[in-house]
Chain A
Amino acid sequence: MVRVKLEHLTKRFGKVVAVNDLNLEIKDGEFMALLGPSGCGKTTTMLMIAGIYKPTKGHVYFNDVCVDDLPPKDRNVGMVFQSYALYPHMKVFDNIAFPLKLKKLPKDEIREKVKKVADFLEIGHLLDRKPAQLSGGQMQRVALARALVKEPDIFLMDEPLSNLDAKLRVVMRAEIKRLQKRLGITTIYVTHDQVEAMTMADRIAVLREGILQQCAVPDELYLKPRNMFVGGFIGSPPMNFLDCSLVEENHEHYLDLGVFKLWIPPDIADLIMKNASGSELVFGIRPEDLKVTLTLPPEAKEAGQKSKIQAIRSEIYVLEPLGKDVIINTKLGDTLVKVVAPPTIRPSVGETIWLNFDLDKMHVFDKKTELAVI
Chain B
Amino acid sequence: MSKKFSNLLRGYVIRPKASISISGLGGFKSFLKEKSRTFFVIAFLTPFLAALTIMYGLPCALSVLMSFTDMGLSFELHFLNPLLKNYYTIFHVADPRVPVVAQTTILYVGCTLLINAGFSLVLGVLTAYCIRNENVASVLRLLWFLPRMTPVIIYALLWLWFTDPTYGPLSIVSSWIGLKGVRWLLDKPYSQLLMILVNGYIGASWGMVIYVSSIKTIPLEIIYAAKADGATDWDVIRRIILPLLKWPILFVTSWQTLSLLGSYVEILAIWDGYSYTSGVEVWSLFTYHTAFEGYRFGYSAALAIIMATIALILVAIYFKVFGFKRMLEPSRIEV
Contact = CB atoms under 8 A, between A and B. Distances in A.
Direct contact between A and B judged by beta carbons closer than 8 A: yes
A105 to B, nearest CB: 11
Contact of A103 (B222, B230, B239, B240): B230
A81 B230 CA distance: 16
Interface residues of A, number: 29
Contacts of B243: 89
Interface of B: 219, 221-222, 224-232, 235, 239-240, 243-244, 335
Contact of B227 (A73, A78, A82, A103): A73
Contact of B230 (A82, A86, A150, A156): A150
Contacts of B226: 87, 98
Contacts of B244: 88-89
A51 B226 CA distance: 12
A52 B228 contact: yes
Contact of A146 (B227, B229, B231, B232): B229
A337 B231 CA distance: 53
B219 A83 contact: yes
A88 B243 CA distance: 10
A134 interface: no
Contacts of A147: 228
Interface string A129-167: 010100000000000001100100000100000000000
Given A130-B335, A132-B335, A85 B231 contact: no
Interface of A: 47, 50-52, 71-73, 75, 77-79, 81-83, 85-89, 98-99, 102-103, 130, 132, 146-147, 150, 156
Contacts, number: 66
Contacts of A99: 229-230
A85 B222 contact: yes
Given A102-B229, A146-B229, A85 B335 contact: no
Contacts of A81: 221, 224-225
A89 B244 CA distance: 7
Contact residues of B: prevailing secondary structure: helix
Contacts of B229: 73, 98-99, 102, 146, 150
Contacts of B239: 98
Contacts of A72: 224, 227-228
Contact of B224 (A50, A98, A102): A50
A132 B333 CA distance: 14
Contacts of B230: 73, 99, 102-103, 150
A89 B240 CA distance: 8
B231 A88 contact: no
Contacts of B227: 50-52, 71-73
17 contacts: A50-B224, A50-B227, A51-B227, A52-B227, A52-B228, A72-B224, A73-B229, A77-B228, A82-B221, A85-B219, A85-B221, A85-B224, A86-B222, A87-B222, A87-B225, A102-B229, A147-B228
B222 to A, nearest CB: 5
A73 B232 contact: yes
A53 to B, nearest CB: 10
Contacts of B219: 83, 85
B179 to A, nearest CB: 44
Contacts of A86: 222, 225
Lowest 8 A-B CB distances belong to which pairs? A85-B221, A85-B225, A99-B229, A102-B230, A79-B228, A72-B227, A73-B230, A88-B335
A109 to B, nearest CB: 15
Nearest to B220: A85
A85 B231 CA distance: 15
Given A73-B231, A102-B235, A89 B225 contact: no
A150 B222 CA distance: 17
The winner among A50, A86, A98, A150 for most chain B CB atoms within 10 A is A98
B335 A78 contact: no
B320 to A, nearest CB: 23
